[in-house]
Amino acid sequence: MVKQGTVLVVDDNKGILKALGLLLDKYFDKVILISSPNRIAGTLWNERVDVVLLDMNFSAGINTGNEGIYWLSQIKKADANIQVVVFTAYADIDLAVRAIKEGAADFVVKPWENDKLIATLLSAYNLGKSKKEVKFLKGMRQELSSAAPMFWGASQSMRQVRLLVDKVAATDANVLITGENGTGKEVLAREIHRLSSRAAELMVTVDMGALTESLFESELFGHVKGAFTDARTDRIGKFEIARGGTLFLDEIGNLSYHLQAKLLSAIQSRSVVRVGSNLSVPTDIRLICATNRNLPEMVTQKQFREDLLYRINTIHIEIPSLRERKEDILPLAEMFLSRYAAKYHKQGLGIDTGAQKKLRDYPWPGNIRELQHTVEKAVIVCETENIAEDNLLMASPQVSAAQPAVSTLEQMERDMIVRAIRINDGNMSAVAAQLGITRQTLYNKIKKYEL
């Protein structure tokens, strides 16, 4: 089992501290033992503690638990994200209820059973982690919603898309967005979410292509402790995290045929069952799916379930490729130009006529993403007042329209971060450690790449 998190144990019985130190060390990354609650504040100041196991009675002979309640409130004041499990020698249910009312995550009675104690602490740790993830996602949502809205362009085809979006955004209808790579399927999904009545809640994205068979159910539906090896604590799935908001299933065409049936069942029943549980939990999500594949053709080839396609495409929106709406190329280029000119302190930069022609004539196999990167690179290399043809370093000018764009360094960096987040299960400290960067740098990059 991977050890994670920091636990702080506060108990004035040194024998108990010693025993717990040995036990907890097998499950947590770091175990801090203190025998006096007076050292709590200093410890929380110096360490990033996830869970506190707090004794409720300190002065010999007084067993009212009042001190415990006092120290609990001090911990919560210091950092409301810390999960506190209270520890008492007396099976005093009133005290436990009081502690939970005051914000404790759970309680354990002495003498304790090792398995129960570990399970309670790990559950509290996981609860804190889930809450932090949701908070983080909410923070990201706020940043994204305050970011510039989707750029629609002026083409007739995008005007049609906009009319349709205006009509369906407010409804709860399932939407399927199709289009080539980089046409802005995710950007459009965010726009639909932003315009919907669910905008105050989260849009949770799942890359279906990246989900292995074994991860699929646990990731989407959650699991309960003991459901499989490594499932040491309960975990909620993406369907539940997205409650009240939007669930965006990207690359739906890459989902294996076998897993499509499981997804269909959750959508049809509007409920999920966590792995290892038999309790069905109702869902409340608006579903948006996206793919660059031709799903009806996949249905004919028995690679995609017809019943699932029927469920997810109540409304189908096809985003045209950039070469099919050439009139949008220059307005989009201008928009990216002003963004990157500001970023690289080159305000006032223009695009000369030769460069404009080159932009218009290029087939843009990587669509808007490629255009965006091309303009960014041009802004960086340009040393004159206007971007010229030579500054436009397209991925491959002679590339055929069907080929995907070559990755840029930034794209590769973004992919590495996405992969590390997935591998480390959203644990940002672990992600930062794996990538060899600080958490702050990681958050800056997450913001930059809109992850």
Ligand X SMILES: Nc1ncnc2c1ncn2[C@@H]1O[C@H](COP(=O)(O)OP(=O)(O)OP(=O)(O)O)[C@@H](O)[C@H]1O
Pick the stretch among 35-43, 53-61, 68-76, 368-376 that binds ligand X (CB under 6 A).
368-376
Interaction pattern, residues 190-219, with ligand X; x per rule: CB under 6 A: ------------------------------
Tell me the site size for ligand X, rule CB under 6 A.
15
Please identify the residue of the shown chain whose CB is closest to the bound ligand X: 184
Pick the stretch among 176-184, 220-228, 304-312, 351-359 that binds ligand X (CB under 6 A).
176-184
Q: Which of 65, 179, 222, 363 binds ligand X (CB under 6 A)?
A: 179
182 binds ligand X (CB under 6 A): yes
**Closer to ligand X by Cβ: residue 119 or 202:** 202
7 binds ligand X (CB under 6 A): no
373 binds ligand X (CB under 6 A): no
372 binds ligand X (CB under 6 A): yes
**Closer to ligand X by Cβ: residue 37 or 184:** 184
445 binds ligand X (CB under 6 A): no
**Closer to ligand X by Cβ: residue 95 or 368:** 368
88 binds ligand X (CB under 6 A): no
Pick the stretch among 174-182, 221-229, 272-280, 438-446 that binds ligand X (CB under 6 A).
174-182
Interaction pattern, residues 134-163, with ligand X; x per rule: CB under 6 A: ----------------xx------------
369 binds ligand X (CB under 6 A): yes
Shortest Cβ distance from residue 44 to ligand X (Å)? Answer: 39
Q: Which of 196, 233, 292, 313 binds ligand X (CB under 6 A)?
A: 292
CA distance 197 to 257: 33
Q: Which of 183, 196, 283, 321 binds ligand X (CB under 6 A)?
A: 183
Shortest Cβ distance from residue 281 to ligand X (Å)? Answer: 29
246 binds ligand X (CB under 6 A): no
Judged by the rule CB under 6 A, the positions of this chain that interact with ligand X are: 150-151, 179, 181-187, 290, 292, 368-369, 372
